[in-house]
Structures are given as C-alpha cells and as structure tokens.
Amino acid sequence: MDAWVRFSAQSQARERLCRAAQYACSLLGHALQRHGASPELQKQIRQLEGHLSLGRKLLRLGNSADALESAKRAVHLSDVVLRFCITVSHLNRALYFACDNVLWAGKSGLAPRVDQEKWAQRSFRYYLFSLIMNLSRDAYEIRLLMEQESSACSRRLKGSGGGVPGGIETGGLGGPGTPGGGLPQLALKLRLQVLLLARVLRGHPPLLLDVVRNACDLFIPLDKLGLWRCGPGIVGLCGLVSSILSILTLIYPWLRLKP
Amino acid sequence: MDAFIRFTNQTQGRDRLFRATQYTCMLLRYLLEPKAGKEKVVMKLKKLESSVSTGRKWFRLGNVVHAVQATEQSIHATDLVPRLCLTLANLNRVIYFICDTILWVRSVGLTSGINKERWRTRAARHYCYSLLLSLVRDLYEISLQMEQVIHDKAKKEKSASQDPCGYSVADEETEWLQSFLLLLFRSLKRHPPLLLDTVKNLCDILNPLDQLGICKSNPGIIGLVGLVSSIAGMITVAYPQMKLKTH
C-alpha cells in the first residue's frame, strides 16, 4: 500500500498508467473486433480509450517546461554526440507536448477552430524525430560499449598467453586476416558481432530497456503518419509494452538510462 | 522554473493547480454571465471548467488506498480527540473515494446501471462528514493553542509583576468578544499550518453543503471559496512544513 501511495504521488507515474490502460484498451478493442464480439462492448472499450486519451492530454499539460529543463541540463554533457542527441531529442519532445496542448485546447472546446488533423500530424512528426534521436543515442552507447568489451576481451586473451580463441572471446573487428574468407567468414563475423551485442545488452539492463522502449514506441508515429501501417493490434501491443517498461523505470529508478 | 517542475511533478500539486483553475472558471463565469456580449467567453469558460473537472478524476483514481493509509496513521495519534476525529474523518474519506470511483465508472460508460444522483449525494454526504470532523479537530487544536497563549501571557505577566491587563477584568460583552478575537488571532498567528488547515476546511465545506441543499449559495461564492481552498492546498504542497501534522 505504501508503495502504491509513493508511486501514484508522482504525476508522471499516473500518466504512464493511463497510457498503459489506453493501449491495453486499443489492443483489446482490436482483439474483440477480430473475434466478433458484441458492438456494444466494442463501443464501450472505444469510449474508454477516448476518455483515457483526453485525460492523458490534460495530465500532460505543462510537460513542455519539463522537457525544456531537461534539454537545458543536457547541453552541459561532456560527450559531443550524446549532448547533441539528447538535447535535440528533448527539444523535439517539448515541441511534441506543445502540439499536444494545442490538440487538448481543440478537443476540450477552448479553441474550436484548431485543425485537429494538421496538429496531430505535426505532433507525431516531432515525436518521431525525438524517438529517432533516442535510438541514435542508444546505438552510439551500444557501439561504445561493444568497442570497450571487445578491447577488454582481447586484452584478457593477450594476458592469458593468447591461446585458441574460443567462441565469442575473439570479438574480432579487424581480426587476423585469413585469406580468401568470403561468405562463411562474413557469417562468422556477423555471428560474433551479434553475440557481442547480446553480451553488452545483457550486462546493461537500463540500456536494453531504453532500446526496447524506443523501438516499441517507434511503431506508433510510423503508423499514425502513414509511413508504415502496422495496424491497431501491433500499435496497441507496442504501446502497452513500452508503457510497462517506462513504469518499471519509475518504480526502480536504477533502471533509468543516465547520460 | 525548477520549482514549478518540482511542484507539478507531484500529483497533488498538479491536481490543486487544476482545481484552482476549475474554481476560477466558475467564479469568472458567475461574474461575466450577466454582462452582455460575453457569451462566447462564458461558453469557453464553461468548457474549460468541465474538461478540467473531468480530467481531475484521473488524479483521484486510486486515492482510496491513500485514505486507508491515512486512517491507519491517524489511529496512532497520541491525543484522544484528534485520534477519534481524524480516524473517523479518514474513514469517511475512504467511503467518499469509493463513491467517487463508482461515479467515474459510470461517467466513462463502463456500466450504465448506476444511479448517478444517488451516488453523488452519498459522496457529498461523506465528504461533508469528513470535513466536519476535520473542523472539530481544528477547533480542538485552536482551543489548545488559545490555552497556551493565555498560559504564556500569564507567565510573562507574573515575571514582570504587573497587574493583569485587558481580558481578565472584561465585564462588558463587546470587550469580551474583542479579547476573544484577539486571542484567536494570536493563537492562529503562532501556528500557520493550523490556520491554513482551518481555512481550507471551512472553504471546502460550503461545496457539499450546497450540493446537499443544506446551505444553498450561488456559483460565485462556491467558485471563490474553492479557489481559496485550492490555493491553501497548493501552499501545503509547495511548502511541506505548512502541512498540519498529527502528534
């Protein structure tokens, strides 16, 4: 009970719960439609989803300020690539929230002349840019860690007298050139890279969580902008998974990826 | 901006801000409605008020657990009167939040067999009981503070060895009332959290009294007292030391 009180005292936590519920409704609605459930039930689920969506827009009023503050803080990072990626991502998020506020004003009747479609498309565009920036940052971090890991492995091998390299320990980005490799050697290299990637991600849960979350989130604006129509089922599932993962980062702050 | 973000990151902070907005709209609507040519503004205020009021329900979902926890905490208060009052007040809050959740289920259309008026009346009644009990506790604390002020004053006068002044020789009613009010003012000045809590409860109680038809007032008054109590609530969130603590 104490944990719930502490969790729900953060407004972001409540917004994430509503998001999870909204995408669960979307997924449920799609599943009910596929299995031919009663139109009454489908209407109820759609109505609940609409209420959740509007409620979330109200809960998000003022998040632009938060995103701008985060962008301001990110400008002071030491690494250039990280500084660029994170700052631009936060700025895009701030613009996304600003468009979202305009949409709320339109939906709640304050500004009835707002072109809902245009502003919705704008907001999803900014959201997409921010997710692309996040994924670029994740890719950069993964590459750094993979380089670190492979150099640590080769140091260990050198230290142990350089015996027969076993399995993933080679991490050979530029391994000893065996002449005439061709396809099998390429396949082996690829396999080693994939194994190294798996090792890196396994050893850094916050990074893994962030990658999965951003990848799942990516489907939503891609579908809404018409770039890659995946259907409401996939969108609902991805939205639900990413909401659950972000709730986890709120419950366990050590799972949050720190720059 | 940092303080604003820290404030809005708390659910209660955001909720109080929206509540203040909601009651400001109610007040402005009451003031602007009789004026000609302001229909569009009045309509917009009404829409803003209703959308904020609907949205605030999301802040209240799950507060049953908060109220149950508060009940458990208030059982351990040391003084008998606060212990009794706060426990009963929090129990009434639990019932109020249950009624509120049922009303929410009805409003999002998940079920249609719920009598909205009946549950709304129930919710208002239990909210009213909880506020009354909180006020009883506030009055008890005020009386303790007033005793403390008299006691301190008497001690100061004994050590200064002067004739006791003012209220101890008051015979006429107006002088008695004046000195009582002065004493009340002094006790509340010493204890700002108690003042804030009393003001908040007094302002809050007008709304359910109006809903239950016991003390009908106009939307302007409801809006004004709602705004004052929301501001008092925002102060307790922004400055946690201003929250009235139970010993």
Weakest mean pLDDT among A100-114, A203-217, B172-186:
B172-186
- Cβ distance A5 to B5 less than 8 Å, yes or no, reads no
Residue A68: inside a domain, yes or no? Answer: yes
Distances (CA, A) of A219 to A132, A211, A228, A236, B78: 11, 13, 8, 10, 56
A38–chain B nearest CA distance, Å: 14
pLDDT of res. A83: 94
A80 plus A50 within the same structural domain: no
Please report, in tens digits, the pLDDT of each residue of chain B (247 residues total): 788 888 888 889 999 999 999 999 999 999 998 888 888 899 999 999 999 998 898 888 889 999 999 999 999 988 899 999 999 999 999 999 999 999 999 888 888 788 889 999 999 999 999 999 999 999 999 999 888 888 888 888 887 755 555 444 545 667 888 888 888 888 888 889 999 999 999 999 999 999 998 888 888 999 999 999 999 999 999 998 988 887 7
A20 plus A90 within the same structural domain: no
Residue A163: inside a domain, yes or no? Answer: no
Residue A54: inside a domain, yes or no? Answer: yes
A32 plus A102 within the same structural domain: no
Enclosing domain of residue A14: 1-59+230-258
pLDDT level of residue A167 (50, 70, 90 thresholds): very low
B158–chain A nearest CA distance, Å: 50
Backbone angles phi, psi at A66, to 5 degrees: -60, -45
Residue A239: inside a domain, yes or no? Answer: yes
Residue A179: inside a domain, yes or no? Answer: no
Mean pLDDT value across chain A: 88
A54, pLDDT greater than 60 = yes
Residue of A nearest to B49 (CA): A108
Mutate to test the interface with B, among A19, A48, A59 (most CBs of B within 10 A): A59
pLDDT of res. A180: 54
CA distance B54 to A50: 13
- Cβ distance B110 to A44 less than 8 Å, yes or no, reads yes
CA distance B106 to B117: 11
Q: How many domains does chain A contain in total? A: 2
CA distance B18 to A230: 37
A16 plus A38 within the same structural domain: yes
- Cβ distance A48 to B110 less than 8 Å, yes or no, reads yes
pLDDT of res. B171: 55
A47 plus A84 within the same structural domain: no
A70 plus A146 within the same structural domain: yes
Distance from the first to the final alpha carbon of chain B: 34
pLDDT level of residue A36 (50, 70, 90 thresholds): confident
A191, pLDDT greater than 70 = yes
A66 plus A55 within the same structural domain: no
Q: Does B6 touch chain A (CB under 8 A)?
A: no
A258–chain B nearest CA distance, Å: 19
**What is the average pLDDT across A33-45?**
88
- Cβ distance B65 to A108 less than 8 Å, yes or no, reads no
Residue A176: inside a domain, yes or no? Answer: no
- Cβ distance B58 to A55 less than 8 Å, yes or no, reads yes
- Cβ distance B68 to A44 less than 8 Å, yes or no, reads no
A104–chain B nearest CA distance, Å: 10
The whole model's pTM is what?
A: 0.85
Residues of B whose CB is below 8 A from A12:
9
pLDDT of res. B166: 47
**What is the average pLDDT across A130-152?**
93
In A, what residues contact B, Cβ < 8 A?
A: 1-2, 4-5, 8-14, 18, 44, 47-48, 51, 54-56, 58-59, 62, 65-66, 68-69, 104, 107-110
- Which residues 13-42 of chain B have a CB within 8 Å of chain A? 13-14, 18
A144, pLDDT greater than 60 = yes
A73 plus A48 within the same structural domain: no
Residue pair A82/A258 in contact (Cβ under 8 Å)? The answer is: no
Residues of A whose CB is below 8 A from B3:
none
Weakest mean pLDDT among A61-65, A170-174, A176-180, B83-87:
A170-174
pLDDT level of residue A171 (50, 70, 90 thresholds): very low
B8–chain A nearest CA distance, Å: 7
pLDDT of res. B172: 64
Cβ-based neighbour number of residue A236 at 10 Å: 23
- Which residues 154-183 of chain B have a CB within 8 Å of chain A? none
Helices B80-107 and B39-60: angle between axes, nearest 10 degrees? 110
A4, pLDDT greater than 70 = yes
- Cβ distance B110 to A109 less than 8 Å, yes or no, reads no
A50 plus A1 within the same structural domain: yes
A19–chain B nearest CA distance, Å: 12
Residue A178: inside a domain, yes or no? Answer: no
CB pairs under 8 A between A and B: 88
**What is the average pLDDT across A83-87?**
94
- Cβ distance A1 to B68 less than 8 Å, yes or no, reads yes
Residue of A nearest to B45 (CA): A110
A84 plus A141 within the same structural domain: yes
Residue A53: inside a domain, yes or no? Answer: yes
Backbone angles phi, psi at A178, to 5 degrees: -85, 120
- Cβ distance A47 to B109 less than 8 Å, yes or no, reads yes
SS3 content of chain A, % helix, strand, coil (to 5): 80, 0, 20
A175, pLDDT greater than 60 = no
A48 plus A78 within the same structural domain: no
**What is the average pLDDT across A89-116?**
92
A5 plus A66 within the same structural domain: no
Q: What is the DSSP track for B182-223?
A: HHHHHHHHH-HHHHHHHHHHHHHHHHHHHHTTSS---HHHHH
**What is the average pLDDT across A31-40?**
88
